[in-house]
Structure formats: C-alpha cells, structure tokens
C-alpha cells in the first residue's frame, strides 16, 4: 500500500514512518499546513442546523466561500450570489472533491484525453485538437451536487453538510461527447461509457473516482466535454482543463479534470457507481428512516426554486409593494412556471419569468408581495417543470441525503 502523504503534513504526524514519502511530488504545490488559510479572518457564518458554523475561506481563483472542509476541498456558494444574476460567476462557483490527491499543476501542451476500451480505434487528443478539430457548442446548465441541502435533512445524515449553495449555473463551452466517441468509434456490444479524472486517492487502496453513463445517454448530443465556463477557462477547482457536462443530471456525473473515457462492454461495477450515490427507487427518492428500498444510481434532477433577495427575518413595509425575486430550474427539463405564495402555501400566484437561457439553466423570476397588514408572513416559491413535476410541500428523506427539493420558505415581517 502506498500513502501519498505530503511532507509538511507527514512531518506533523507522530507516526511518520507509517507514511511513504512521495510527498515531493504530491505535496510541493500545497501550502504548508493551515497557512494557506491564514487570510481567512474570523468571520463565521451560521447555517440554520446543528454544527452549521462555517468559515469564509479563500481558495485559488475563488472569492471567499463557505468552508466545509479544506482537504479535499468542499466550498459552498453563499446564497446571496444567486441574487446577482442568472449565471454563477466562476470565482463564486461551489467546489466539491472526493479524493485526496488533486493535481495542482497542469501543463496544457502535455494534457491528453484518452478514449479507449470497447472502441474501433483508441485515440488520444490534446486540448488544442479538441478545440480545433471538433465543433464548439455552448449550453447553459445547472450543476448541482447530489447532496445539495443535505444539512437540512431531518433526521440528519452524515456527509458533506451543505446548505442550499452546492449548485451553480454556467454557460459551458466545449465539444459534444458524441463527436469525441465517434472519433474512436464505439463497437457493437458497448453498454456504458466510463469517465475518469486526474484526481486519485491519497491511499492506494482508495477506489478511483469514476462515473458511467449508458451509451445512449453518452451519445445523445447534449452531454459535453467542456473547456469553457462562462466564456473563460474552468477554474482549477471546477475541473480545469476539461470536465464532463451532463445537462439535467446531478453533478456527480460531471467528472472534473476529465482525461480518460473508457467504453465498457459490461455494466460498470466500480464503487462510485455500485455502492455510492445510490438513491431509493421511489418517487422523489423518498423513504422513511429505517425503511429499506431498492437502491439505484442517482440520475436526473428535480425542479427547485429559491427566493434570493429576502432572507429569514427580513423586514418589509406594510401597505406597500415589495419585489420578491429568485431563481428556479426545471431539473431534467425546462421550467414551465414558478408559483409564489405569501401565505405559507394557502394561495399561489404565477411569478413573472425572466429571460429563458435554455431548459437546463437557472431562470430568474419575480413576484410582487403586497402585505396590507403588519405582521409575520411566510413566503414560498414552487417550481413546476415542463413534465408537470412540481416541488413537493413535504421534504424527502433518504440515508444518503440526496435530491432535496422541497418548497422553500422565507419568513419575513411587515411593519
């Protein structure tokens, strides 16, 4: 077994002989100890659940984001960012890595994307070839962590304890995965296509992070390999130089630092497909605690909506009109409508929808809130997608803490 422990970290461990010192390769690019976070400041943000205190931490190419874990980084986008525009700025986009060994130095001319496995002709492509030899496509799409909002699960479940900010919307530029696969030529009998990025476990026994899609899905012309995010290169922590974009599906499939595509003639049984990211095969992935169900890999997203310009406890003026605005998305299809309620869901009114950037994008919405009388009001928004799927009024529950999409509430006071 090999332990790829960086030297500065290993030096502070009592049993350093236990660790093989390959740190020069892995660790040189890492800042020493907690020093990398010295610019943090003491600012703490409190999420509304137990153990919800979060620092604001600055990471490379990022503005200060909510810190769940430094290594491998879990960084959450503050909700206020979503009020500023329909696209999430690259430096504010949330970050989620699974494994301890993340490359910190990428040499663009040396980078190769390998396409192999059950294909007619394995190929290796440089980034320059990907950009020059394949047609560029652009698509606005929401990237949302499977476990976004896990911190709100009740009863609580272990994992990345996100608020609602493990999501973002970007304009992705890249090439169609179908075009890449056609270059290699898929052989008959292919079943799935597996994606692997440059990250790996810090302990050799850790299963490499790989995700798979069916051949039909991979060839649907919508799945992309993206080198652009909001018309710039991807930030390192969002998967520079290339990541998979799987519109309408949870971000676990959007493999970062994508450098290996393998066509399989059998179903992928690696840990990250077979044992992790499983949801109960029930409507809304919803079961009762303790209940068992058939478990299947997580897949399509569900509709969600958020009020972004008012937070719990906000004060508004009674007898006047306040704009309530937010963002919404349809999940695996477009948004049909957003409904707004100012009376905790007793009555609903359609909200105004702003510009449509495509069916996988966030869409901004707004509504008028006209409280006649002073007092407490519970504001809600409910997205309904083009398939007629609406956000539920009751939260779902499952042991993985996946797919939360309950109607959200904001409690305000009119005075």
Show contacts with another protein in window 305-334 (CB under 8 A): none
CA dist list (Å): 150 to 64, 100, 299, 397, 400: 21, 22, 17, 10, 8
User: 25 — phi, psi (to 5°)?
Assistant: -75, -50
Chosen residue from 13, 25, 315, 344 binding another protein by CB under 8 A: 13
3-state secondary structure of 224: strand
Max Cα–Cα distance, the chain, nearest Å: 71
- Degrees (nearest 5) of the Cα angle 200, 206, 212? 65
The distance of closest approach from Cβ of residue 101 to another protein in the complex, given in angstroms and rounded to an integer, is 9
Determine the size of the site formed for another protein (CB under 8 A). 79
- Regarding 271 and contact with another protein (CB under 8 A), the answer is yes
The distance of closest approach from Cβ of residue 218 to another protein in the complex, given in angstroms and rounded to an integer, is 22
The distance of closest approach from Cβ of residue 206 to another protein in the complex, given in angstroms and rounded to an integer, is 4
- Regarding 84 and contact with another protein (CB under 8 A), the answer is no
The distance of closest approach from Cβ of residue 178 to another protein in the complex, given in angstroms and rounded to an integer, is 18
Distance CA 303, CA 328 (A): 7
Which residues in the 27-66 window bind another protein by CB under 8 A? 29-31, 33-37, 40, 42, 44, 49-51, 53-55, 57, 59-61
- Regarding 20 and contact with another protein (CB under 8 A), the answer is no
The distance of closest approach from Cβ of residue 82 to another protein in the complex, given in angstroms and rounded to an integer, is 21
- Regarding 8 and contact with another protein (CB under 8 A), the answer is yes
Q: What is the DSSP string of 357-404?
A: --TTS-EEEEEEE---SSEEEEEEEEEEETTS-B--SS----TT----
Closer CB to another protein, residue 90 or residue 391?
90
Beta pairing, strands 74-76 & 95-96:
antiparallel
| Residue 409 near residue 379 (C-beta atoms within 8 A) | yes
Closer CB to another protein, residue 59 or residue 377?
59
Distance CA 70, CA 196 (A): 23
Interaction mask 272-291, another protein, x per CB under 8 A: ---xx---------------
- Regarding 3 and contact with another protein (CB under 8 A), the answer is yes
The distance of closest approach from Cβ of residue 158 to another protein in the complex, given in angstroms and rounded to an integer, is 6
- Regarding 241 and contact with another protein (CB under 8 A), the answer is yes
Distance CA 368, CA 335 (A): 20
Distance CA 83, CA 381 (A): 15
| Residue 341 near residue 382 (C-beta atoms within 8 A) | yes
Which residues in the 186-225 window bind another protein by CB under 8 A? 201-207
Which among 155, 403, 409, 142 is positioned nearest to 281, based on CA atoms? 403
Q: Judged by CB under 8 A, which stretch of 150-158, 253-261, 300-308, 372-380 contacts another protein? A: 150-158
- Regarding 158 and contact with another protein (CB under 8 A), the answer is yes
Closer CB to another protein, residue 105 or residue 216?
105
Chosen residue from 93, 94, 236, 402 binding another protein by CB under 8 A: 236
The distance of closest approach from Cβ of residue 371 to another protein in the complex, given in angstroms and rounded to an integer, is 35
Closer CB to another protein, residue 59 or residue 365?
59
Q: What is the DSSP string of 167-211?
A: EEEEEEEEEEHHHHHHHH-BPTT--EEEEEES-B-SBTTSPP-EE
Which residues in the 163-182 window bind another protein by CB under 8 A? 171, 173
Which tokens go with 189? 């009998």
Tell me 25's DSSP state. Answer: H
The distance of closest approach from Cβ of residue 175 to another protein in the complex, given in angstroms and rounded to an integer, is 11
Closer CB to another protein, residue 109 or residue 388?
109
The distance of closest approach from Cβ of residue 264 to another protein in the complex, given in angstroms and rounded to an integer, is 21
CA dist list (Å): 244 to 100, 116, 175, 198, 275: 20, 16, 10, 13, 21
- Regarding 74 and contact with another protein (CB under 8 A), the answer is yes
């Amino acid at each position: 077994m090999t332990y790829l422990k960086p030297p500065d970290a290993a030096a502070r461990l009592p049993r350093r002989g236990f660790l093989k010192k390959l740190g020069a390769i892995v660790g040189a690019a890492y800042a020493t100890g907690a020093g990398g976070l010295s610019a943090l400041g003491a600012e703490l943000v409190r999420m509304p659940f137990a153990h919800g205190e979060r620092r604001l931490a600055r990471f490379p190419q990022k503005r200060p984001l909510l810190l769940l874990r430094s290594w491998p980084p879990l960084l959450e986008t503050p909700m206020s960012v979503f009020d500023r525009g329909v696209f999430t700025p690259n430096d504010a986009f949330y970050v989620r890595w699974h494994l301890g060994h993340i490359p910190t130095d990428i040499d663009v001319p040396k980078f190769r994307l390998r396409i192999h496995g059950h294909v007619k002709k394995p190929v290796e492509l440089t980034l320059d070839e990907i950009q020059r030899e394949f047609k560029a496509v652009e698509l606005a799409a929401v990237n949302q962590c499977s476990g976004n909002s896990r911190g709100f699960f009740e009863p609580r479940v272990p994992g990345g304890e996100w608020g609602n900010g493990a999501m973002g919307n970007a304009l992705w530029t890249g090439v169609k995965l179908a075009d890449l696969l056609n270059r290699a030529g898929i052989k008959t009998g292919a079943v799935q296509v597996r994606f692997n990025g440059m990250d790996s476990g810090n302990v050799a026994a850790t299963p490499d992070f790989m995700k798979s899609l069916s051949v039909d899905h991979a060839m649907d012309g919508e799945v992309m390999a993206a080198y652009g995010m909001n018309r710039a290169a991807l930030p390192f922590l969002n998967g520079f130089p290339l990541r998979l974009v799987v519109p309408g599906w949870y971000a676990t499939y959007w493999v970062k630092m994508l450098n290996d595509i393998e066509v399989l003639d059998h179903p992928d049984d690696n840990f990250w497909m077979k044992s992790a990211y499983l949801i109960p095969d029930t409507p809304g992935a919803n079961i009762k605690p303790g209940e068992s169900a058939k478990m299947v890999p997580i897949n399509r997203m569900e509709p969600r909506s958020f009020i972004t310009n008012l937070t719990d406890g906000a004060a508004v003026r009674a007898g006047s009109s306040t704009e309530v605005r937010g963002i919404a998305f349809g999940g695996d299809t477009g948004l049909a409508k957003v409904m707004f309620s100012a009376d905790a869901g007793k009555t609903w009114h359609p909200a105004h929808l702003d510009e449509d950037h495509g069916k996988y994008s966030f869409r901004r919405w707004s509504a008028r809130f006209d409280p006649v009388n002073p007092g407490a009001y519970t504001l809600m928004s409910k997205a309904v997608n083009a398939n007629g799927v609406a956000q539920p009024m009751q939260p779902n529950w499952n042991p993985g803490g996946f797919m939360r999409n309950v109607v959200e509430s904001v409690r305000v006071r009119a005075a």
